[in-house]
Every structure is written in C-alpha cells, then in structure tokens.
Structure 1
Amino acid sequence: MGSAPTGSSRGGPGRPRDTSRGLAILEATLALMTEVGYEQLSMEAVASRAGTAKTTIYRRYRDKAALVAAAVEHRSPATPPPPAAGELRGDLLGLVTWLSRQIAEQQIGLLGALFAGMRSDARLAEEMRRILRRDEAAMTGGPLLEAARPGERLSPRAAGLFAEVAPAVIVHRIVIAGEACDEPFLEHLVDDILLPLLRDH
C-alpha cells in the first residue's frame, strides 16, 4: 500500500468533513454492490444513488476498489470481544460466536459480489486482503493469546491456524451450506476442530 490513505475526505484547510454525505456514498456503494455486482458498479451510479457529484467521490477515493474497500470497512469494523470466560474453550466460543455474527450480518449477495470482484480486479483483491489481514490481527493478536491460560500450551502457529480455519468454516456454513451458525455448530467448531488444531501436543 502507498502512503496515500485508502479513502478519506480531503477538503481544503478549515473545511469540515461532510459526514452525512460520506455515509450516503458508502451506503450507496454497498447497496449497488449487492444489486449489480462489482463489475457493473460505477462511480456515476454511486453518485446518483448518494445524491452527490462524481467528483466528490473521486476527491475521497482514488478508484472503485478503494471506494468498495472503504464501504466494507465502514460496515464491518474489527472489534472482537476481549477474553472473558477464564478458560480457552470458553474464550474460543466467544470469539467464534462474534465472528459468525459478523459474517452472518453481511448480505450473501454482497459477499458473492466481493468474491467475484476480487477474482477480476487485482486492486480490489489487494484492498480486501489488507482488510482481512487487519481483521485477522485483531482476532488473533490479542484475544487468542490472552485466551491461553497458565498451563495451556498453544501451537506456535495457533494464531495463523485460527485465522485460516475458523472464518473459512463459518463462511462455508453460511454461504455454501446456507445454514445458521447455531450453538451446537459453534461448539462442534471449537471442540472438534479448533481445540485439537490449536493446542501444542
């Protein structure tokens, strides 16, 4: 990534940021992504839906990929809960419960549009991978390490394994299988997949 921000309002000195306009742009982007997909999404269509000028969007976002990434970040801030159960299994359950809710709140049409767009646009893939790396760090950097109590030995690769496996299983359950991540499924994910995988044997 370059030094320029992915998406920000860059008005002149002393010019306040129009937060309502910025929100309208991001919401319009998400709605159009779901309706028409990434390939058919245009700055003109976003501007029309948001009731603003195309030049206003270009002042904030350098291209379509940056705009879509900003909209995704606006919708899904990475704020995993701190460990609270007092033991590894309970803390993992809390973490995967939060993660499943984050994924389930995304519209399936939006997820499909993002996946398709990432295959066709290297810039969007770059932006989305940056967001994924940020979210993985938020999930595994602190919460997972803090979940390991004294005497609980985690694999040296535990953080990476969690980031690879847990979201993939949850996305498959919600998007491919079309089923809810209910309590029995999340317990299965933790007890039968994550705990054996993450513990240092």
Structure 2
Amino acid sequence: MSTSGRSRAAGPDETPAIGRPRDANRDVAILDATLLLLTEVGYDQLSMESIAARAGVAKTTIYRRYRDKVALVAAAVEYRSQSSPPAVGPGGLRGNLLTLVQWLAEQIAEQEIGLLGALFAGMRSDPGLAAEMRRILRRDEAAMTDQPLREAVKRGERLAPHAAELFAEVAPAVIVHRIVVAGETCDERFVEHLVDDILLPLLRGHPNKPARTERGTGSKGTRS
C-alpha cells in the first residue's frame, strides 16, 4: 500500500495530550509490532493483547491511541509508507508518467508479500478494514495523479473521462503482476512499455493506439 507521505506515528483517534507528554518511542513500537504480527499471523488472528505484548506496552496504552484494531492497522499501514510521489517535471505527460510509474514500481517492490496478503485477506473478512484501506488508497491515488493530469490538461492534452481512475485501476495491477506473479523487475524497458503501449493510449481515450510517436530518438522502444 503505497501512500503519499502524510503519515505519522500518531493514530487517527488521538486526543490532545493532558499531563505527561506521550512517548513517541511507544508509538513506533506499537506500529512496528502491528506490522510484524500482521505479517506473521494474519489480520484475523491479530489481537490488541498480542500487539501490546510484542511492543512491550500495556493494552490500555494502545487503546488510548486507537479505538480498535481497524484504526491501528490503518495507522500502521500509513506509518510504513512515507514516500511522496515525484513532483511534476517539464517532460510533458509522457515524461511525468514515466517518472511516476518508476516510482510506483519501486514502492510496490519494497512491500512485503506477506503483509500485502494479510491486508487483502483482512479486507475480505472485515468490512471496516476494507473501508479504511480504500480510503487510504483513494487518497493516495489522487495524490499520485492529480498534478500530472492537471498539468497535461493545462498544456492542451485531451484526456479520457475519469483518467485518474483508469490510471489507478491499471498501473498498480500491471506492476503487481509483473513483480509478484511473473517474478520480474520493472526495468526501464518495461516502464516504457507500460506507459507508451498501455497507459497513454488509455488515458487519452485511444486504447488501441500505442503512443510510440512521443518516444525520443534515443529510446530503446522495445519491451522485455
């Protein structure tokens, strides 16, 4: 779950501190323990008691920060992923998509397969977790695509309706398949293939017309 860098160790249910300041080290210990146990035992078997034991804190310490397991897991996911999408550059839509797809591939490659599997399974069994994960994903998808697509429109690009949603549906799925299922890396040639042959035609409303004409003369133009 790649996020856009607005995460912090504090959870969404915190209240203003009264009295003794909160120990930031405990915050980190709780979130780290949550991620480790989530990978080890899965979402359904994850409990506040086991997290407290692994983090070396009292269960009440966790409940002062997070109202329930869903809130804690969501906070842990946001805490783990702190990289921001790349800034828009001068290279036009294609250049910005190449940079964005490469960044997205790096974020996905860094994720632990066991953690992703635990989250996906948890989303199927707990509607509350599913809602939280979708909230995070929608927010981060908007953070990824808002600037590149807005700048493209300003430069006169004609994009398909719901272009941002199309990018969010296609790009991560293709990258996950490449890394997890095929066991391949997302090298430069593959990134160019994904952008030129799939994303640009799709975002422009011409899914059967690969955008090869935008490639520079030095581009390899082949895919692995």
**Would you say same fold, with TM above 0.5?**
yes
Inter-partner Cα distance in structure 1 for 2:153 and 2:176: 25
Q: Partner of 2:148 in structure 1?
A: 143
2:67 equivalent to 1:69: no
Deviates more, 1:112-121 or 1:168-177: 168-177
Deviates more, 1:145-154 or 1:191-200: 145-154
2:37 equivalent to 1:45: no
**Matches of residues 26-175 of structure 1 in structure 2 within 5 Å?**
26-77=31-82, 79-148=84-153, 150-175=155-180
What whole-Å deviation, never above 9, does each CA across 1:26-60 have from its counterpart, x for those lacking one?
Answer: 01111111111111111111111111011111111
Inter-partner Cα distance in structure 2 for 1:62 and 1:48: 18
Structure 2 contact 13–67 (Cα < 8 Å) conserved: no
What whole-Å deviation, never above 9, does each CA across 1:119-154 have from its counterpart, x for those lacking one?
Answer: 001111011011001111101122332245624222
Structure 1 contact 92–147 (Cα < 8 Å) conserved: no
- Runs of 4+ aligned residues of structure 1 deviating over 4 Å after TM superposition are none
2:201 equivalent to 1:196: yes
- Root mean square deviation of aligned Cα: 1.9
Deviation at 1:78, TM superposition (A): 5.8
Deviation at 1:84, TM superposition (A): 1.3
Count of paired positions: 197
- Could you tell me which of 22, 25, 28 is aligned with 2:27? 22
Inter-partner Cα distance in structure 2 for 1:11 and 1:18: 14
Deviates more, 1:71-80 or 1:29-38: 71-80
In structure 2, relative to structure 1, the CA distance for the partners of 1:31 and 1:116 (3 Å cut) is: same
2:191 equivalent to 1:186: yes
Structure 1 contact 91–147 (Cα < 8 Å) conserved: no
TM-score (norm 2): 0.81
Inter-partner Cα distance in structure 2 for 1:31 and 1:140: 31
